[in-house]
Structure 1
């Protein structure tokens, strides 16, 4: 069986490792992390830093990026693919995903998530615990859907946008790239690029440039 290295041994990485273990596809799972005080996390060895992935390419042909910053996560995935590593999609066994969805490499779908028919989810996305995504949605690369988020049908979300815990997005809404939807917000209208929105209904609270969202 193949072997998997996970880049990032923080809280997100711990969840990712458990999902990979439950999938049963890899006979060995290890971490790379820049915290040099770590030697193992939850029984998985930490064998090097984030920049060491090419040194382990011959032994660990599969690599997954488990870091929170949306833009950085996608850039690292692209680099690994260009260098010949295989970046899998990780899906917790306790999810409900339509057979007519498309989910690209480097995306993780966590326990309790529901993804309905004809939804397209890009590269390096996070579909977090107990979130729901209705039919015909399109998520660009690096989108993070936090725990308990509900996305209505025919919704488009731009690259590297972060929808925080417990937010809701109505049907037929477009959210731009590099945006943040605050926890508990209710989005009922289109949202432009590079803004943070909050409230019920959500309104723009802040504008910013091209930044790395995620935690």
Structure 2
């Protein structure tokens, strides 16, 4: 393990990621890359270059992609993996992680989350503040589980899907890839077609 961490993205999401990294107390130094040249520091940590500079630091730093957009995060992470980057997993000390939970590289687990036993979380996921994921779930790569989302047991959430803040997914549900589920929405049946879903229960709007 390298003892320095480089975070790509210094805005809101990046700040929360940096806060988690500091609290983990694993790295001697933490710095940012960001494409906004007007940002010189964030969370009292230095911005040392643009996202395209990441390859220059690949031998000295572990690199974490703190970009909220699922597609952008996926693209950058795949490029870094191909270049041989060391990509950590970030877990807030207050998160509760059950037995036999698997979490893949580039995923962040934020404060107050609960992930129960026998659940799998893919690459490059965001499990945001106060979300709960129950037993035997599969959260596929590059998915964003927003703050306050509650997912019951034996749920599959497809690759690149975004569950909006406060949404709820009933047990034994499959949600296909590349979906958006709106804030406060409730999913009680399988979602088999990519698109945007809102309401109680959800309906596809486009």
1:9 — aligned with what? 10
CA shift at 1:79, angstroms? 1.5
- 2:22 aligned with 1:21: yes
Where do 5+ consecutive residues of structure 2 fail to align?
none
Q: What residue in structure 2 maps to residue 69 of structure 1?
A: 69
Match of 1:37 in 2: 38
Deviating beyond 4 angstroms after TM superposition, the runs of 4 or more aligned structure 1 residues are: none
Answer yes or no: is the 8 Å Cα contact 1:179–1:192 preserved in 2. Answer: no
Distance (Å, rounded) in 1 between the aligned partners of 2:58 and 2:131: 34
Distance, in Å, in 1 between the alignment partners of 2:81 and 2:16 is 23
Aligned residues: 205
User: Could you say what secondary structure the match of 1:58 adopts?
Assistant: coil
TM-score (norm 2): 0.97
Query: What is the correspondence of 1:183-202 to structure 2 with a 5 Å cutoff?
Result: 183-202=183-202
Q: What residue is the counterpart of 2:114 in the other structure?
A: 114
Which residue matches 2:59?
Answer: 58
Structure 2 matches for 1:55-204, cutoff 5 A?
55-60=56-61, 62-204=62-204
Shift of 1:161: 0.2
In 1, are the aligned partners of 2:126 and 2:143 still within 8 Å (CA)? yes
| CA drift at 1:205 | 1.1
3-state SS of paired residue (2:7): strand
- What secondary structure sits across from 2:204 in the alignment? strand
Deviation at 1:48, TM superposition (A): 0.4
Query: Is the CA contact (8 Å cut-off) linking 2:15 and 2:42 kept in structure 1?
Result: yes
